[in-house]
Structure 1
């Protein structure tokens, strides 16, 4: 797990993203909230298995496993006062289906306009004529980035590292 120290303290003004919970979630809101937003390339579609080309992209695989790992630890994050949300450049309609299929108890945010990329300079890559995010996890308190972590290893293990971090730091 690698930290992006250069983005700590950045306020997310005007970053409102459509949510699978309905409406939009304002990540820049100064409402006292503590949010973990894991940003990922895309969740898979069971009807269309991942291609060899997708599997060859470093860090591309594992989005569904990561989402399920956050699902499985959501109560532990909530007990520490942290809300969880996932975010990708996929459409809200696609994410509604994925959230239902994966039984996700937290919202997925749709950033088809790459607003987070513009606000924070997050890394992206191109695949099948789409611009997708590289995997990163944001810790946001009252609309300010307090930590930004790049997953260096298996995305499902990354989640336990994030849990350890919020247990220790207790923002």
Structure 2
């Protein structure tokens, strides 16, 4: 069992392999995902303004083990700390122009609800069990313990178009602050 709230000091840093270079400027696909409040969220119909969707591999639980070798996979470890960073900076993200913030993984909706409750998240998590968004946008994934999981990345969607992509994301426990800095440096009224 690992402490999910602290990152090991020697985590391998993910390298930019170009797997997200094709995303800026693309329209958000018509993919509807179940949110933790029971709502269906259509990514191509998020409305006006900026939506921040941070995509991550999987959130561990305090009573469970992470996949074997998890700390050795560049970019895998840190989903709980990333969620906490988005929680802690949620108000600032909204003040800087994020109309909506979502977390997204391939974990099921029940699992996601537990994460929202345990971590006291002020935003919804989205469940993409079938990796439909990965198929529609050719998003990067990896294999661990027989599971196909998302590589960590963040989409900024504005008025139905992918405006900006953060990839690779590191360190995950400071990523909301990276998004916040970008939102402040790139106001939507430009």
Q: Normalising by structure 2, what TM-score?
A: 0.84
SS at match of 2:30: coil
SS at match of 1:28: helix
Q: Is the 8 Å Cα contact of residues 151 and 158 (structure 1) preserved in structure 2?
A: no
State yes or no: 1:47 paired with 2:63: yes
Q: Which residue of 1 aligns with 2:85?
A: 69
Q: Is the 8 Å Cα contact of residues 88 and 110 (structure 1) preserved in structure 2?
A: yes
**Alignment map for 1:120-131 (pairs within 5 Å):** 120-131=137-148
Match of 2:104 among 81, 84, 87: 87
SS at match of 2:154: strand
List, as ranges, runs of 4+ consecutive aligned residues in structure 1 with deviation greater than 6 Å. Answer: none
**Alignment map for 1:78-157 (pairs within 5 Å):** 78-82=94-98, 83-157=100-174
Q: Structure 2 regions of 5+ residues with no counterpart?
A: 1-14
Q: Deviations over 1:90-136 (max 9, x none)?
A: 00010001110000010000011111111211110111221100000
CA offset at residue 60 of structure 1?
Answer: 0.6
Q: Structure 1 regions of 5+ residues with no counterpart?
A: none
Q: Normalising by structure 1, what TM-score?
A: 0.93
Whose RCO is larger (CA < 8 A, sep 6+)? Answer: 1
CA offset at residue 51 of structure 1?
Answer: 5.0
Closer, same or farther in 2 for the Cα pair 1:125/1:161, shift >3 Å?
same
What is the root-mean-square deviation of aligned Cα atoms in Å?
1.7
